[in-house]
A and B are shown apart, each in its own frame.
Chain A
Amino acid sequence: MSQGYFGAFGGAFIPEILHQTFAELTAAYEAARADADFWSEYLTVMENYSGRPTPLTYAENLSAAFGGRRIYIKREDLNQTGAHKANNVMGQGLLVKRMGKSRVIAETGAGQHGVATATMAARLGLECTIYMGAKDVARQRPNVFWMEQLGATVIPVTSGDQTLKDAVNEAMRDWVGSMDGTHYVLGTACGAHPFPEMVSWFQSVIGSEARGQILKQAGRLPDRVYACVGGGSNAMGIFQGFLDAPDVELIGVEAGGLGLATGLHAARLASADAEVGIAQGYKTYFLQDDDGQMKTTHSVAAGLDYVGVSPILANLHETGRARFIAATDAEVVEALKRLMKAEGIIGALESSHAVAGALRELPDTPEDTVILINLSGRGDKDIFTIADALHDPKWEAFIQEKADQYAKRANNPGDAS
């Protein structure tokens, strides 16, 4: 019997060599899920290591600018390593310990999942290898730097178009040879069963906290919940707090890149460009051509330019429980600036998609609307990309100066200045 379907999506399309590994992982996950002690251990670790519960911030100034509509922001940016990714990796890390494995591998796009995995591995004493598209290595150097400092080996992937999907393939290739002692810490709610369900479970901590917090602060459930969607893990995380409340509208914001009409985007559910397909172990909407070959995607946010999307979100899309829209690179940079200036919160470019989507739609809502935005991560890692987008001359001068300093040092190895 095939397992792990959400409507027509999901499944486990894996090479036979991994069958037993997935069977063991599914069993370990199901046992952990049935064990209340596991979840409370998880919550304790997240509280003491990652800073949970993360706050819910009422965005007072932004709300005022929208005629008093109330905007609440769930602060996943305040997690250990600055993103919701910490929830998933620590959960899987605890599972790895239960399974008695000693090495973890992971794929990463923006690098956030790689950094989160590397910290978890350092903390739990696991050997760690991170696969990252060579293009992403180039544009997310600060995260590569941290992964290496944390003791992980970062392997740049030069196959395909050298981004996230290619890193996934490489990690799978590693795993089919190393599965005895190695666990693949998949970074999002995608891939073969049980990953979509398991990752969503660990991320559900976002939604259950947010539900309690907004009930306390706003006195009621929100009208709308916005989250950005790469693979869909932070969206699944927050949506799960409200799935059973049909009046709460759930909105996923995908990468609109240079605009849906340009073809240079990563909108799988919000555009008509994606088709249902089967790749990387599961069935969902993929950006692919008529032959079934995956297309290249584009986003200013490396963490959102993935070709597939969580099968659970694909099903929520199909059933109409969630709605999907896209925000362009330009809108996202504007939203990021606006949130910084109004609230003093530096969101990641990925997370700023959720902000952009919400701000665009807010003027068309009734004045007493309450909205909740999941701010999945913080923007420090994006300093180079954001500075490029903002053309900040002082920053450019600083980088120039640093480059000169390194060049000088390279020419005079004895000079340690």
Chain B
Amino acid sequence: MAVKSMGQAVAEALGLALEMDANVFLAGEGVGASIHVNPHLPTFGLLERFGPERVRDTPVSEAAIAGLAVGASCMGLKPVVEVMFFPFITLASDMIVNHAAKLRYLSGGLSNFPLTVRVKSGAFSAGCQHSHYLEAWLAHVPGLKVAYPSTPADAKGLLLSAIFDPDPVVVIEEMPLYWSIHAEAPEGDQRVPLGKARIARLGADATLATYGGAVHVALKAAEMLAEEGLSLEVVDLRSLLPLDTATVLASVRRTGRFLALHDATRFCGFGAELVATVAEACHGELKAPPRRVAAPDIPVPFTPPQEAFYKPSAEAVARAVRELVRG
């Protein structure tokens, strides 16, 4: 295994899928001749390798891009389309929510939509029209699958699973991780199944479940807590829908305490689902009420001190764990 950036790992998965299956094509704004020349960006070099028939730059038209994916997938192709920034999913949402997710059901199982929507997420000092963590919206839609990788190996493996999955999958990629996270990722077609969580760190005193960039914040908090003699187990969910409740519940039953963490705002966030699931299943076994650590209920701010204020920090996670364990 070689060390790769998360962006390179995504590019590898895309390249591999294009090589393996002639039905796979990529489309999106700037996925080919991008304004980005950074080799850690996920479609870097693919236009040169596969040509403009299979790596297609589109007009700025999210509804058309998503519609293209839905129509083409129903014809048997395996489209992988990109939504440039997470908030713009709203423009594609009719096609994704009302069509990709529902038409198989409405056809009584006759139609298939093996499409993948890659969404670039994260906070990067551009303000809230470019940054908004909307994963709970997507995970609320029956018929969709939602993956949210945190490491290069998972970014590659989950994306490959998504592309070859018979259902529509939205894969959320946190852009800042493209550069900042370098780790080993396997060569070749090594898939990570959708709906299988990963224990990112073993612990005994409490279980934290999270996904995406927040996994790294949780691991940092776990380091800090270890110095104080507290042992935090970190579960990286990898995919929100399907959700690996079994892994989460087994962990909670071992530690007796639970908290959920995410960069999305707290109210109606995915953490609410996790806490409810744990509370329902483990009520009598919990040593403390389950908790959430999430962003305040505000749009993602632009100016640096406020953007930092928005993002749940390792310190905030450590504080919550101390309270959870020590009461």
- Answer whether A and B are interacting partners: no
